[in-house]
Structure 1
Amino acid sequence: MPWSPIIKAKPCSMPSDSPSDTEPWTILKTLHWTVDFFKRHHLDTARIDAELLLAKALKCQRIDLYIRHDQPLDGNELSIFKGLIRRRAAHEPIAYITGIKEFWSLPFEVTPDVLIPRPDTECLVETAVSVLTDRGFGDSARTLELGVGSGAITVALAHEYRNGRFFALDRSWAAICLAKKNAGRNLGDHRIHFFAGDWMDALSADRALFDMIISNPPYIPTADIATLSEDIRRFEPVAALDGGPDGLDAIRRILETAHLHLRPGGALLLEMGSDQRAAIEKYIDRLGHYSSVAFYKDYGGHDRVVLARK
């Protein structure tokens, strides 16, 4: 079904904030009403949100909504859908409602125990792939991720380097369990070694084992948390966002100890805030643990990734 009919159709006029149970609701009519409902609740992605949630309620693909546009919803389907749209109207993120978020063209299960993977973090993975290729590590690289969350970063890298050795830690056992599940879903093997720990505390300080250490640590200043969108500040784990007074608590802690666990010439890659470059560069210079520093931009042209070599 082409997209034009949904544009030309007349919007549904509803007397309340929920679809009526007294008349049949086709897929197309339900989509129209939901888009209008979401717009009235100030959701910027009303159309795609409506499609994703209706597809979940009907257990189908988004394209099927237009192929089956004149199919009415039965009472059970409508009831399930009502529950989903109420959750979204309360600004619960779509990824938590559907339970899935795509990253690096791979599906990842997400829960409120972990941050939702974002496109900007793909820049971190792209930089890691470039570094591993340029350094000639390739499939022989030993890579450690700090704060694995959903597993998106390490699973994406392991998907690119089938023979690499990957290690990932998190202080949240719920996150580790979810990351393991996503690794099995996308890789079908057990090449990633997961363990619990608080940054570097779980590692032996007398062995430099890794070619790369990578992390997307908390880097938002505490005072800025309250200014984030409602979707983020109310639903995503604050511990994975809050980087302390200046946003650099976790980044400083990693920089202070990562060199102990990197092989000579090994790379430390961190995601960072777009306004933190000067402070990070100054701190790295003061530490004296790293021989070179480079910064990489995200898709919006903002500084997003710092690379420091041992």
Structure 2
Amino acid sequence: MDVWTIKSILSWTDTYFSQQSIDSPRLTAEILLAQALGLRRLDLYLQHDRPLEKQELAAFKLLIRRRIAREPVAYITGYKGFFKDRFRVAPGVLIPRPDTEILVETAVGILLGIKQSGRQARVVELGVGSGAVIVSIANACDGHLYFGSDLSCDALGVARLNVDEFAQTRVALFRGNWLEAVAPRPLFDLILSNPPYIPSADIERLAPEIRDHEPRQALDGGGDGLDAVRVILAQAGDRLLPSGRLILEIGFDQRPMVKSVAEGFSWVAELDFIKDLAGHHRLAVFKKIN
């Protein structure tokens, strides 16, 4: 074809992505073309007959090659939609998932109850990653004190950008391995985390977009997937205030194992599990004794 228009290149890319078994081929083609042209997706349809310049075609072909190499779309565009915002992401930082939005909703429900009682809560997210979770919570429930920690300097750099750009309430970030950097005394009303919980042996069976591109330390939960869960439970008891809660995202089939692990910690007074929209047990909520 001598002249490629927006409409014709989208049609060709949709077919090509389908042949290459790329998920959501049409949507992916639209997102990448909008990225290459500096347009909104809507503009692609408003300008569907517009011919593409050679440099625009070259830029788009580069993005196509990256996606065919199974690089996640979020890393290619530099952004990922989560909850009510669109957050920056980058290689070396876990891409936020829709499943994790239940973590935000659960935390906000708890914090609204604390706010109605007239108290100001202290909240910390462990393994803050891009910062999407803690920023979303802070924006949905102001008036509390918010903190986020991560061991990865790359993650903290991206989280800082998202805090600066999107947070409507102050979020303080610090570097640390789970709660090691926090004094072992009652400080927090709420501790939350989406820790690595995939068993080591399962990592190689993940989709190449995840296995080959996302940070291994944010995925690999050790032999049974619960290494980080055990560490966090061991550290959280001393750092939670009476009746404080710890919320952890878990694997869809890990409820029995998490319940068994929790029985070894005397500070846990209650343990509830919350299902995601797919009906899987996605969160474990631990409540400290009074």
Other structure's SS at 1:163 match: coil
Deviation at 1:134, TM superposition (A): 3.4
Equivalent of residue 210 in structure 1, options 188, 195, 204: 188
State yes or no: 1:182 paired with 2:195: no
Task: Show the counterpart of 1:222.
Answer: 200
Task: Show the counterpart of 1:12.
Answer: none
State yes or no: 1:157 paired with 2:137: yes
Other structure's SS at 2:253 match: coil
AA aligned opposite 2:260: K
Other structure's SS at 1:305 match: strand
Contact 1:132–1:138 under 8 Å retained in 2:
no
Deviation at 1:137, TM superposition (A): 6.0
Contact 1:112–1:236 under 8 Å retained in 2:
yes
Other structure's SS at 1:108 match: strand
- Which of structures 1 and 2 has the bigger CA Rg? 1
Equivalent residues in 2 for 1:48-87, closer than 5 Å: 48-87=27-66
Contact 2:193–2:249 under 8 Å retained in 1:
yes
Q: How many residues get paired?
A: 287
State yes or no: 1:286 paired with 2:264: yes
TM-score (norm 1): 0.90
Deviation at 1:185, TM superposition (A): 1.0
State yes or no: 1:248 paired with 2:248: no
Q: Which runs of 4+ in 1 moved over 6 A?
A: none
AA aligned opposite 2:222: G
Task: Show the counterpart of 2:217.
Answer: 239
State yes or no: 1:305 paired with 2:288: no
State yes or no: 1:170 paired with 2:129: no
CA distance in 2, matches of 1:286, 1:172: 29
Equivalent residues in 2 for 1:106-185, closer than 5 Å: 106-135=85-114, 136=116, 140-185=120-165
Contact 1:139–1:163 under 8 Å retained in 2:
no
Equivalent residues in 2 for 1:9-88, closer than 5 Å: 23-88=2-67
- Residues 1:137 and 1:301: Cα distance change in structure 2 (over 3 Å): farther
Contact 2:112–2:141 under 8 Å retained in 1:
no
Any unmatched runs of 5+ in structure 2?
none
Contact 2:111–2:141 under 8 Å retained in 1:
no
Deviation at 1:279, TM superposition (A): 1.0
CA distance in 2, matches of 1:119, 1:139: 30
What is the percentage of aligned positions where both structures have the same residue? 48
Other structure's SS at 2:179 match: helix
Deviation at 1:188, TM superposition (A): 5.3
AA aligned opposite 1:278: P
RMSD: 1.3
Contact 1:139–1:161 under 8 Å retained in 2:
no
Any unmatched runs of 5+ in structure 1?
1-19
Other structure's SS at 1:260 match: helix
CA distance in 2, matches of 1:256, 1:281: 14
Other structure's SS at 2:137 match: helix
Contact 2:138–2:168 under 8 Å retained in 1:
no
TM-score (norm 2): 0.96
CA distance in 2, matches of 1:137, 1:231: 45
